[in-house]
Amino acid sequence: MEQVDAFYRAFDIYVFCIVIAVNFFLFFKKPKFKLKWQVLIPWFILFFFLFPYVSAEIEAYKFHEATKGQAVDGFETLYIFARWFMYWGFGLVQLLLLFLLSRLTQNKTAI
């Protein structure tokens, strides 16, 4: 059970590492990249719903376990809510990178 708990504690780090690895692959290994709806729809679902929900649930569980029978600070609960905005911001940056990569590869093939 401790291994599962350790995995969930580092969920955000794993997500960011995987996204960085995918970016590295797309930027340096994929010569022609076209942004299509088949890429945008899963991206949108992951960054606007799935990742923030899982991250907030994990953080809420850790918060609940840490504050059993104690006074609750409002900033701790605000941190759980801020997870959604963190992933939305990160997802928008990813979308901009995908659009730039798509434009760059289209310009390279046009030359």
For 26-59, the pLDDT digits (tens) are 777 766 767 777 878 888 888 889 989 988 888 8
Main-chain dihedrals φ then ψ at residue 87, nearest 5 degrees: -70, -35
Give the residue from 83, 16, 90, 73 showing the smallest Cα distance to 52. Answer: 83
Predicted TM-score (pTM) of this structure:
0.73
- Report helix, strand or coil for 30: coil
